[in-house]
Amino acid sequence: MLHLGGEQGEKVNVEAGDIIVIPAGVGHKCISHSGDFTVVGAYPNGLSPDLNKGEPGERPKADKNIAAVPFPTTDPLLGREEGLRKIWVL
């Protein structure tokens, strides 16, 4: 089970075959998982994680960094023309 969206977010059950794309700035935490659960983190175009934990003073810089993340050039499963490329709202 994952908790997505920070304190006001939702708890989501994840099953084999599920793909979750978490946009920059969305809080997320693994609450529980089976022994065969795997996370594959991908940061496209040479980007790297920018981990914040909601500490005082993080917000102004985090907002700036989130706004600077580029629109994805491809959907991780469906490629250049489908998936995120069609539904992502700028």
pLDDT at position 12: 95
Task: Give the per-residue pLDDT at 1.
Answer: 93
> Where is 22: in which H helix or E strand?
none
Of 56, 69, 55, which Cα lies nearest the Cα of 25?
Answer: 69
Give the per-residue pLDDT at 90: 64
Q: What share of the chain is helix, strand, coil (3-state, %, to 5)?
A: 20, 10, 65
What's residue 6's pLDDT? 81
Q: Residue 22: what residue type?
A: I
Is 1 within 8 Å of 13 (Cβ atoms)?
yes
pLDDT tens, the chain, 90 aa long: 999 998 889 999 998 888 888 888 898 999 999 988 888 777 777 788 888 888 899 999 999 999 998 888 888 889 888 988 888 876
Strand stretches in 1-90, DSSP E: 2-4, 10-12, 28-30
Q: Please give the structure tokens belonging to residue 34.
A: 């089976």
**pLDDT of 31:** 93
